[in-house]
Amino acid sequence: MNSTQSSQKSTPTIHPEGLYRWDEFADRIPFSRETWRKRVLAGKAPAAKLVSRACTAWKGEDILAWLNNPDSYK
């Protein structure tokens, strides 16, 4: 493996049946976490599921639906 290949990070695949934390899909979102939060509150992005008191995650199918059509997501 050359240095170019080893320095490139592969983006993990989002599976519809998975749960994902912000850091696992943030690289696909074209704005900041705060803007994402505001969109969630406005119903323009999927809401997170509370996994525990200190952990929230988004359903993969919701993330994929938003990524496929972010302007008309409901």
Residue 62: partners with Cβ closer than 8 Å, 6 or more residues away: 46, 47
**Is the predicted pLDDT of residue 7 greater than 50, yes or no?**
no
- The torsion angles phi and psi of 12, rounded to 5 degrees, stand at -65, 145
Query: How far is residue 64's CA from residue 44's CA, in Å, rounded to a whole number?
Result: 14
Phi, psi of 25 (to 5 degrees): -135, 0
- Whole-prediction pTM: 0.80
Three-class SS state of 50: strand
Dihedral of alpha carbons 54, 62, 23, 47, sign: negative
Over residues 29-64, the pLDDT tens digits come to 999 999 999 999 999 999 999 999 999 999 999 999
